[in-house]
Amino acid sequence: MAAIIEVVDLIKHFPGVRAVDGLSFAIPVGSCFGLLGPNGAGKTTTIELL
């Protein structure tokens, strides 16, 4: 099945910290997807980059 969103090796640096480090995932068409994790895990940064 095709992916509506596909991310491969996403990396984001801020001064002194690596906020997202090599994130990869694919979301199939028609699926329900949730991005979960503890505070500071890079969830908001990932969504902003998308």
Query: Any idea which residue has 């997807």 for tokens?
Result: 33
Range of the domain at 32: 3-49
Q: How many angstroms separate the CA atoms of 50 and 46, rounded?
A: 6
Say how many domains are in the chain: 1
Give residue-wise pLDDT tens across range 4-45. 999 999 999 999 999 999 999 999 999 999 999 999 899 999
Q: What is the pLDDT of residue 45?
A: 94
Q: Which residues pair with 6 in a beta bridge?
A: 26
pLDDT of residue 20: 94
Going by pLDDT thresholds of 50, 70 and 90, the confidence category of residue 1 is confident
